[in-house]
Structure 1
Amino acid sequence: MTAKVGRVDHPVVAVHDLQQTRTQYQKLGFIVPPSGKHQEWGTENLCIMFPDDYLEIRGIGDPRKFLAGVDTFLEKGEGLYSVAFNARSADESYQAGIASGLDIKPPKHLNRKLVLEDRTLDLHFRTVMLDHSLYPGLTHANLCEHLTADTLRQPGWLDHPNGVQAFGRLVGVVSDFDAAESAYIRLLGAGNVQRDGKHIWLNFGEGADVELISASEAELRGDAQPERGEAYLASATLLVRDVTVSRQVLTSNGIRFETLEDGNIRVNPADACGAHLYFKQA
């Protein structure tokens, strides 16, 4: 048995200032809705929506409340901090995880309020926290069941000028490949974990996959972040309708980037609030 982990639901970028970040991600060519507040936690966020997944940008609103490790992460700078996997039923995922002997926490309710010009969106989730040993290379991870999926995406929020449609891949760094392979087989099942030497791929049947690489490989790619330790979430690739249009948007907005030999765009992390982001032709 496994914990019934679904597709990559949303990676998370942690930042110091949400409003500055909103402006910067608009320059990156995203439609960025207003920020919302987690009622039970001390965090606030921006959610950049795509049809089947999204990018969350999270900051601190009330440091007296639970922060899910955002404060500790930000001590070493902004960047990719977490990934939430979809859970069709938080209760079923939790029960399956417990039956499999996994160290996971019972589901907890989370409410996010998002104030728009004409109304307030009242969004509800159930989250299942995973023990750190279960997700090497992802910095932080949890399961998320959406209770208000019908109101999560609003008209106009998916029409990004940069053409981004979805996440294609997340890349994490690990130092112990045997331990990482074992951990993910326990979490996801052997059929969803493939290993080839110093690479591990995690597949979910739909949506983005996850690639785990060594620190030396991350260095070659320009994504090494040694301040994060021996295991961390290193980069994310977003799929776009037309990479030529993406380049035009980034250029016109003064965003620094490079076009790689494979045609992919690598955004300068300094222009993405510390996040190592790639744009790839869908």
Structure 2
Amino acid sequence: MRNGIAGIDHVIIGVRDLERARMGWTRLGFTLTPRGRHLGQGTANYCIMFPRNYLELLGFVARDDFAHRLEAFLQRREGAMSVAFAPAGSAEEAATSLAALDLHPSAPRALGRQLELPEGTVVPRFSLLTLPPEETPALDCFLCGHLTPELVRRPEWLVHPNGVTGLRSIHILVEETASLLPAYDRLFGMHEVTTTDAVASVRAGSNRLLFSTPDDFATMHPGIDLDPDFPLPGIAALELAIAQRDATADYLTQWQIAYDEMPGGSLAVPAKEANGTILFLTEA
């Protein structure tokens, strides 16, 4: 991994009402962690953990300078807003690898959050670094190294009633794809970037970033209700792996959750059910 990136660590989903989002994603069939509060910041979260990656529902508990980006995003919409890549080693090692590619990573910075467990509060800790926006065009992202992984991956948090087992790919809508290719060729290597008439695909470990225009996205996913005013660029959909398609369909039907059956076999949960993000559920 010449860039020091192992894959996608998590996706941040910005929500206006954190407790309402918790109830909504629980209804969708996800097991959520207890609430976490970022130290020194006005944000809190609930996480949906999988063995190799996770989703983070992020909301306000107080307005402050650290929450400015979330506030600006939520003025436009709710939904998936940012991607955290997983470093192959430490954040410091990833920074060295990225700099060797003539990229410009920030110095790693520390982050902690209080996690409210029944037996008491613990403090998971992380090391973050960023790249300039022009080095990851059309994607708000950073690298997140876990310093205390044992605190955030308890076995009971990894099992979900809807059968979801992890994140597969992220669908990003853009005005056009051609101008993105040089930056992602440089970051991930030309062998990890492929293009068709409809989509530019970037492989990050076992995950993919899929960039397409709204028209091409609609062509690839017929029948999906896409907001005509969706702000570009932006993450429109997440593809999640499921263990058994029929079992997941039964769960969604039981809880009266709307979904569409896609030509390729995926189940598509509309954005209105998941805080503004379409969910494609695909049997692994």
Name the TM tier (shorter chain): over 0.9
Distance verdict in 2 for CA 1:156–1:65, change over 3 Å: same
Greater Cα shift, 68-77 or 224-233? 224-233
**Matched ranges for 1:227-242 at <5 A:** 227-242=229-244
| Coordinate RMSD, CA, aligned | 1.9
Summarize deviations over 1:111-151 as a string: whole Å, max 9, x none. Answer: 0111111122210000112222222343x110011101122
Write the deviation string for residues 155-192 of structure 1: whole angstroms up to 9, x where unpaired: 31111110110111111122332321111112222222
After TM superposition, list the pairs within 5 Å mapping 1:118-267 onto structure 2.
118-138=119-139, 140-206=140-206, 208-220=207-219, 221=221, 222=224, 224-225=226-227, 227-267=229-269
SS in 1 for 2:98: helix
Partner secondary structure for residue 150 of structure 2: helix
Letter of the 1:95 partner, please give it. T
| Match runs of 1:13-92 below 5 Å | 13-67=13-67, 69-87=69-87, 88-92=89-93
Partner amino acid, structure 1, of 2:103: L
Once the two structures are superposed, residues 175-226 of structure 1 have per-residue CA deviations (whole angstroms, 9 ceiling, x without a partner) of: 33232111111222222212234421111332x2121112211233336455
- Secondary structure, in 3 states, of the residue corresponding to 1:176? coil
Contact residue 2 and residue 186 of structure 1 kept, 8 A:
no
Contact 1:225 1:234 (8 Å CA) reproduced: no
Matched residue pairs, number?
A: 280
AA aligned opposite 2:119: D
Distance in 1 (CA, whole Å) between partners of 2:115 and 2:99 is 34
Q: How far apart are residue 55 of structure 1 and its match?
A: 0.8
Question: Secondary structure, in 3 states, of the residue corresponding to 2:73?
Answer: helix
- Residues 94 and 105, structure 1, Cα contact 8 Å, conserved in 2: yes
Three-state SS of the structure 1 residue aligned to 2:157 is coil
If the length of structure 2 is used for normalisation, what is the TM-score? Answer: 0.92
Distance 1:106 1:3, change over 3 A: farther
> 1:53-104 CA distances to partner (integer Å, 9 max, x unpaired)?
1111111222113126211111112111111000122112223333433243
Change beyond 3 A, Cα 1:260–1:196: closer
Amino acid at match of 1:251: T
Distance 2:98 2:143 in 1: 11
By how many angstroms is 1:6 displaced?
Answer: 2.2
Please tell me the residue identity of whatever aligns with 1:211: L
Q: Which residue of 2 aligns with 1:273?
A: 275
Distance 1:273 1:185 in 2: 32
Q: Given the two structures, how large is their TM-score scaled by the length of structure 1?
A: 0.92
Tell me, what secondary structure is at the counterpart of 1:86? strand
Pairing 1:87-102 to 2, within 5 Å after superposition: 87=87, 88-102=89-103
Judging changes above 3 Å, is the alpha-carbon distance between structure 1 residues 2 and 224 closer, same or farther for their aligned structure 2 residues?
Answer: farther
Quick check: 2:198–2:217 contact (8 Å CA) kept in 1?
Answer: no
The CA distance in 1 between the partners of 2:148 and 2:98, in whole Å, is 24
Following the alignment from structure 2 to structure 1, what is the Cα–Cα distance between the partners of residues 38 and 183? 30
The equivalent of 1:105 in structure 2 is 106
- The answer for unaligned runs of 5 or more in structure 1 is none
Range moving further from structure 2, 242-251 or 87-96: 87-96
Structure 1 residues 148 and 226, CA, compared in 2 at 3 Å: closer, same or farther? farther
| Amino acid across the alignment from 1:203 | R
Query: Percent same amino acid at aligned positions?
Result: 30
CA distance in 1, matches of 2:179, 2:212: 13
The amino acid across from 1:71 in the alignment is E
What amino acid is aligned across from residue 92 of structure 2 in structure 1? D
Secondary structure at the aligned position of 1:203 is classed as strand
